[in-house]
Structure 1
């Protein structure tokens, strides 16, 4: 059948036909095989594309599943943080769990399990069977519950049968509470989140895989045998793509594959049929091509005879043209290039003149314009020719060629008016280069540098204008003289002998020389001398160039001073210190020795600049620099690192006999410098007290980078500041990690307000009849990853970074907003809310105006707001503090003095402060009922406060005995865990209204 289809002509002789038939069958088989191969390759490509799409779909669903699970599991940390915050107290659980259930709708229920036994579940309806369930003793769940408790981290269990029915997942988080006797943390129990598998899959739209034609299977694979979570058409999964998912303590795997396979069967049949048809068509075309080939061979023989004579003529013409040494170009009347003939050494021109294209296509615009003018003149002149125009071309390797153009216009024949141009390009690059060099030499001779040319006897034969200007001599005055006329007398004869020895051996000399002008002035110059040789290789001339470097020498001295020394203190700067350290390390200056770097930072120097101005600050820095230099040894290097930071590198000491020698000396020097800086500095009859914090880092020949040592000393300095300032600290491993953690915490704190992570809790305050009369606002930070961050950690950080200013403003606004709302209700009209004010916040110049503005904004009764100030802030500008307190009192606010007795106590000014309330610090309340010294102190504070007309409140009241004792002594108000723990504002309102 194939032969009948392919071969239809019977006009071909039998012998040739049989040959054509055989060849066509071979073509058919080859093309058919190639078609099958291409089809197979295409199938592989399609399978790869489909697998890539399947991976994308699987990753998308896996990511959605992980996002949903991670989001819902985070509820565990909130429950655990609240249990930890309230010391194991869980009455808050139902309302909190109800709020969490709105945030995490996929969660079936939340649970708290003290000791591993489920005690509280929300929602209770439908989950009654879970109450009393012992997670640690259960056969199915006990192992993973014990594992979570031992590892103290979240473990996601499941899939498993829930006691309340159905299949689900359980995430348990072990809660550890601090021992009140300061022992190790103890296991309290679990916070648990239960998620039903059907709810989870519904929320992540897993059914979408089936709608897209995929069969899938989701399994837990970290167990001995995989546990099936969900599947659809799993029996149709063939060669699936797999995505692994990691959750707390477990691993899942999602397998998916198209339900009808990667390549459908009907496609395979289609590829086979297409390959067959294509092979049939190509075989037919091959047969026809062979027939045409026979006919062409006959025509070719006839044409070859006719063209033989023409080729001989072309050969003679080509030989003639090749004998011409210049490029020859033929163009038609419109400027299109017809032919280009180039010598072997001018092949680079091929890129500029391309046959079949207009001559200007690849030429620079300037060259194209010149050739356009040449063709115009040649076409219009009587001789139909033009020559003499010049143009240049820049080659790819940066070489420039210059050409002189000769053009002739000739008609094609007498009968045809149109013709063509014959263009000859003569390379004149060498001639142009020579002319250019002459111009350059003439221009270069008259430069700003002085030039002197002398003959072989060193007699001056020519000078330029710059020489005359620099030396003061005219050309006529020096012609025939030797350069010795310029000698200053500062150089010895040996200096000039060495100069001429270099000229004879090397042919050149350059260096710095002192010469004399005509008026007798001696000046430094940079002199370069070169020798010129004749054709026999003998010296014929000397060429000397020189420039006055007086200004450069002065600039070098100034740059040296600026580069290595601080302009304010005249101490070495950072660059000089680093070079000295590098010199020690690179030149074995620390072999069997150690050196030390002291990093010194002046404490609170910014306050001096802010209060007294930068002029006083600069004078203090100069005096500090002087005192540091006077206190250290001559070979010690004192440097200013920048701002109010100084560095001292101690002279290296041999530690081969005593390894602690350098550390001991560094500590002695640091102590000496500390004592030196503690002495007052007197400026304009005013004494200024300074203090500094020191960081010390030791280094030896094992050190690679001096900057690492300085960084270590800086970290140690920050450690000294954290320890209380005005001290020194040696660098130790681990400091950098603590600094990085502190930096990260500060970065997170900067976003805490905008991310709504800060919350104000309140702790009720009670009178002697245990009636709630007010509360204290307490700032809390619920970090999304760290959980509840202690105020003792982030409040000092906020004060140092001055983030306390926006945070304090936010707390004041929260308090005023609440008070404004409460005092519209009769029931809470007399309620007083206390807000802590930081020393940084209180020190603001416009703090009083800020408080007044917030009160007016929220229409808050001033008598309902009480500001709590710490006693330690009174150690600063007392007059400013008193004036601000009086201004706040004038607004109608209440003022409480917090932590009384722990700070800067002074009865000489206490009676002057407009204080409404004294707060007894909780450290004095501990063990107060046992008659300790704390009891005497507390009794004295109560008596002192009443005598000064102040209200007295005790904080930290944790037992009934403490309450009764304080009440007996006449204490007015009480606050502490024994009465009520800190709570949310909603819980406070409920508690207040229920008490009424």
Structure 2
């Protein structure tokens, strides 16, 4: 029977042991799984913070550097598209933006300015709108009218980089908004990555990949930087970087993966080991029942005796927050007590194991040294060492006593206190102490606002040493620029919200006032009571200075230091919108320096700049302090007079405007001393009044400008008040401009031909004259549209058309057998002749029509000879190389000298009709005409007279030896079919 009982008990113990093992495995694996998930979440959170910090640094680097485009764009707009300031500004930009490799300007999409030029020569004349790689982004930037970022891409000048591009629109003198081109900022990719220190991610143990996104997935896009292949970036943490017209992404993943295999294997081993131990304990517990009956009596006898002792021992042990160990003389643990709150760490120490065997080499050496010291002196205290338990590192402080109750069985009593949290707190304090000495100034006060601590940056910024401010109030830093209400609101915000931040003026120890960005936070204890205040601040003097410089560039003219157009318009709009203006009126004086362009052309732009500076000074001296003097354009100034109450006398503002304008005319007429040159100029002034009922400021200035043009038209050096009819004339000019442009597109121009005769009245040449057949107004005389075409530069496309049409007509005559030997004369304007490609255009017209060059004669006006004489001579020689004839029109009305005239390859002199008209009634006129004929013949030139209206004039000129004749007295300009009909009849 006893044997049967034994087998049942053994079988029951096996079942219990297996059940405990299975349950322990299940619970252990659930706990392990949850622990791994928590570990992975912590890893991802840490990685996300690192990625966000790095992404923010990259974004700030790019945005800060490409924002230099705004400065370039603002200057292009300010100077109306002129770029002579570029090198100086570009140099300052590169000094303040170290990541920028180059900046450039591309009017119309073609790069014309680049800084630095060295190493970037390949970028000059680069057409962004035609480049296959960049065209799409450049066109989109122009359409969106926003700052864009292109790249990474292979730069034209070499290397890989990103390009910040800003489309710029400028206003012409009439206020029209037109596309000018682009400003460009190039950042080399290597410099960008170096400044962002992206390689530090690898030192921190991460694989990373920085890409420009084309869709939502980081791994499928353009790689900017990476330290691993795609197969290494499995399930990365990603952060998007928002940039102008593009998004970048940064993905990182630990090199060991989110969940190291070693952690999983160690966890499985621990779970299995614990399950085995518990199963073994369950088996032993079940088996112990076999002896329970035998021991019951003995236990009952001893239980009563030991209850009191055990109770005391248990109470003592429960009160201990430490591990309690007993070790024999060989260091083997014979007894172990684990604090209740540390039960999960029971495996750190195990009964029956050698304590030192569970430690690292360094910890084992420390522990054994402590045992030896205790054996020598009886005890050892304060020994600290670390133990690696699983994936954790724990710190313990030991107190050891060596007991030797008898020689045979001495032992050690060891108290091991877990000081891990204390050690972490000490590390946190060390980190906090390091962070405390950062670049920002830090000031800490108690709740009574008494300074208890400052860092070294505080001392450097404020000039106060720590010992000088401890115990004092932060009021010692007050600048006096803020009133008591400001500080009361600050304290109220600290009490209600616990924090305050903003900009403030403070004072250094030496009395210097400086701006700073300040943040104050209150510190509360567990009861919610404020115990301290922590203030961090940064000196922003340089930042404010940069803002002032930008504002100076935006609102003031750098040459004269006067308010520019932007500030002027803002001040005028403010004056118009002022609710207190009432019946008050003001006046605008638009001032233009007469013949300023001549000063620039003759003496150079340096002298022109000196003249503008002195003129600005004289204008300031001519008005009251409250009047506004601004530089509106190149040689244009605007004066806004202080408003007056018109209800007292409506003529007051008119009187003052006239008085001020007369004073300005007087001071401007006084000679200007420009270094060693004395220069005399005058001014033309337009005056316009405005008040509460006026329109926007720009319209008022335009009205004053119209009045200024009236003053110029009336002879200059005078002032003129604006009248509504002036606007009507401008509208007519605008209508003329629109009609002319439409006429060019609709082919409304045609040619008439005025015959040129020899002395036998035989037609030997014709002059091609353009006519405009308006679809509504009919035939418009050249005198009405040619001057406007020259002023609006439409004379260039019109002149090209006339040249080509004349050559095509001559080619058709030759083909059809009409007027074979007749020379076709074509007028060329001075503006047309000044074009760099004018010679090429003439050559292309001849090549296209196959007209013999000697049958084409270009008529050039004498007035164009006063310009660049070397250029004129070179172009005339080039025309002669083509084989065409050259006629000098309007001879005698210009300023050419005889020495200059003999250098020109001219075939024909044309006597101006003003001289021809006086040959019969003025001896002087007849003498001049005869002199021109003699001069031309002496220089080997043919002479033709235009404007021959009477037969007497023809006969007189013939007697003087004039070669050819042209005028209404011989024939008016004829249509082509009438001309050919006359020729056939003549034949």
**TM-score, normalising length: structure 1:** 0.46
**TM-score, normalising length: structure 2:** 0.47
